[in-house]
Amino acid sequence: MSPLPLGSFLCGLCVLRGENLSGGYTMKRICVVGTGYVGLVTGACLADFGNVVICVDVDAGKIEELRKGQLPIYEPGLSDLVQRNVNRGRLSFSTEIPFAIQSSEILFIAVGTPARPDGGVDLSYVMRVAETIADYMEDYKVIVNKSTVSVGTGAEIERIIRAKQKEPVAFDVVSNPEFLREGSAIEDFMRPNRVVIGARTQQAFDTMADVYRALYMIETPVILTDIETAEMTKYASNAFLATKISFINEIAHICEHCGADVQMVARGMGLDQRIGPKFLRAGGGYGGSCFPKDVSGLIHMAKDAGIEATILRAVVDTNERQKRLMLEKLEHLMGDFEGKTVGILGLSFKPDTDDIRESPSLTIIRGVLEGGGRVKTFDPTAVEPTRKLFPDIEYCDDSYSTLQDADAAVLMTEWNEFRNLDLPRIKKEMNTANFLDCRNMYDPGEMEALGFRYMGVGRGTTKKQ
């Protein structure tokens, strides 16, 4: 556990292959504290790699459901993965956090880090876990932080544990940020573009190499670095992706006023290998549990350092404007909302998840209701979480009942089942054939030929639309 000088041979990029391993591998006993999206996926995947994993949570109801085989989230393939590993005895769920800490060598922290009201990062859940670990650890542990935390949190965890331990017990803190995407979380965990590991000792790096041994076969690039750099890598990645989205949304806005088609512009840009095609889809603005809070967290980190994060502020402002623009487009199509019905297709912030946190659909629902309109909606997975926020809107069983008698259709989420709608039937069954396509899934010319008043995002002039 001797500290390594930074910049030593361990810092840098390494591609994991069998020959890089220190020998003597045995399966690891792992505890994952926090069984939410990241904790559950991490626990199930690490168990599938052959480790013995116990996932713990303070939410007794969630653990009870998991023990009965019911998952608290929708994620493709996760249910089967959990069941398989539970059946093989490698994965279990518990609220007995002290026991789980004491019986594991490696403790992953995967609790939430929501935004504080001032936009900074709320680290209280992470710090509470650090205190609990200090209270119960009896021998050497590697404490791996998977939560997205502001730079300096790893060092603060070290300080808290040292200060709170009754007897000094050795430990290492590791930063191992998670890059999975909701909707493809298992694939992202099992076949990541990269793994980032920040640590201070050889023993901690060796332990992490054992944890991720299953990734050696697929030659996953691994960044070995210090804790602070690993923490920043996560924020910089999410902030860059959010920047790409706001950038193309701003280009879309300009396209609308000068007669260009943002779909073709993005294609033309994306084929340049320096730019790349991903995250260049104009739409209704980004949402979800990560981008909004992580961009605002990074802005606050910069502010604390006396730096004005000018690009990041513009990213946030552009995103807020984009959400408002969608509502304005809808109003433009309908005149006003008073006494009219809007059918919204899609509630989750993206397909293949039931996550509605910061979803642009919520801005549309609020705006229509405030304007005196009525909302009908359908989403393949996200109805129940939305019902908690909006108990009084109408939830339908499919796209067609949602749009029946509606005065406008709003396509918000790129679910596959919205790609091939029976448009003539919808046109016939709607009260007024207004169609706002916030995902540019349909062709403006074809929609107009079918008799819709159609609006996409960034496609031609506002006059033309």
Q: Binding of ligand NAD at residue 62 (CB under 6 A)?
A: yes
Q: Residues 261-300: x/- map of binding to ligand NAD (CB under 6 A)?
A: ----------------------------xx----------
Q: Binding of ligand NAD at residue 33 (CB under 6 A)?
A: yes
What's the closest the beta carbon of residue 192 comes to ligand NAD, in angstroms? 11
Q: Binding of ligand NAD at residue 385 (CB under 6 A)?
A: no
Determine the interface stretch with ligand NAD among 28-36, 199-207, 333-341, 385-393 (rule: CB under 6 A).
28-36
137-28-157 Cα angle (round to 5): 40
378-407 exposure pattern, b = at least 16 Cβ within 10 A, e = fewer: bbbbbbebbeeebeebebbeebeebbbebb
List strand residue ranges (DSSP E) for 232-293, in order.
none
> Which positions from 182 through 241 interact with ligand NAD, judged by CB under 6 A?
182
What's the closest the beta carbon of residue 14 comes to ligand NAD, in angstroms? 22
Return the H-helix or E-strand segment holding 195.
strand 195-198
d(CA 281, CA 60): 40
d(CA 74, CA 108): 22
Burial of residue 333 (CB within 10 Å: 0-12, 13-18, 19+) is buried
| Torsion 92-96-99-100 (CA) sign | positive
Q: Which is nearer to ligand NAD, 34 or 284 (CB)?
A: 34
Residue nearest to ligand NAD according to CB distances in the complex: 36
What's the closest the beta carbon of residue 292 comes to ligand NAD, in angstroms? 11
Instruction: Note if 31 is an active site residue.
Output: no
Other C-beta atoms within 10 Å of 299: how many? 22
Hey, what are 277's tokens?
């095609």
Exactly one of 85, 92, 147, 399 binds ligand NAD (CB under 6 A); that residue is 147
The single-letter code of the amino acid at 290 is C
Beta bridge partners of 14: 222
Total residues in contact with ligand NAD, by rule CB under 6 A: 26
What's the closest the beta carbon of residue 364 comes to ligand NAD, in angstroms? 23
Q: Binding of ligand NAD at residue 423 (CB under 6 A)?
A: no
What's the closest the beta carbon of residue 110 comes to ligand NAD, in angstroms? 5
Sheet holding 91-94, edge to edge: 12-15, 221-225, 195-198, 171-175, 141-145, 106-109, 29-33, 52-56, 91-94
d(CA 376, CA 218): 46
Determine the interface stretch with ligand NAD among 1-9, 29-37, 300-308, 326-334 (rule: CB under 6 A).
29-37
Q: Which is nearer to ligand NAD, 178 or 256 (CB)?
A: 178
329-333-334 Cα angle (round to 5): 115
What's the closest the beta carbon of residue 224 comes to ligand NAD, in angstroms? 20
Beta bridge partners of 341: 374
What's the closest the beta carbon of residue 347 comes to ligand NAD, in angstroms? 17
Q: Which residue among 14, 31, 255, 290 is the active-site one? A: 290
Sheet holding 394-395, edge to edge: 394-395, 374-378, 341-345, 408-411, 434-437, 453-455
Q: Residues 94-133: x/- map of binding to ligand NAD (CB under 6 A)?
A: ----------------xxxx-----------x--xx----
Q: Are 212 and 222 in contact (CB under 8 A)?
A: yes
Q: Binding of ligand NAD at residue 458 (CB under 6 A)?
A: no
- Give 158's DSSP letter: H
Q: Which is nearer to ligand NAD, 154 or 343 (CB)?
A: 154
Exactly one of 16, 31, 36, 326 binds ligand NAD (CB under 6 A); that residue is 36
Exactly one of 27, 50, 59, 84 binds ligand NAD (CB under 6 A); that residue is 59
Q: Which is nearer to ligand NAD, 58 or 169 (CB)?
A: 58
Determine the interface stretch with ligand NAD among 176-184, 364-372, 409-417, 449-457 (rule: CB under 6 A).
176-184
Determine the interface stretch with ligand NAD among 33-41, 166-174, 264-272, 382-390 (rule: CB under 6 A).
33-41
Exactly one of 51, 148, 318, 413 binds ligand NAD (CB under 6 A); that residue is 148
d(CA 156, CA 226): 14
What's the closest the beta carbon of residue 153 comes to ligand NAD, in angstroms? 10
CA 359 to chain centre: 12
| Catalytic annotation, residues | 290
Interface ranges with ligand NAD (CB under 6 A): 33-39, 56-59, 62, 110-113, 125, 128-129, 147-148, 178, 180, 182, 289-290
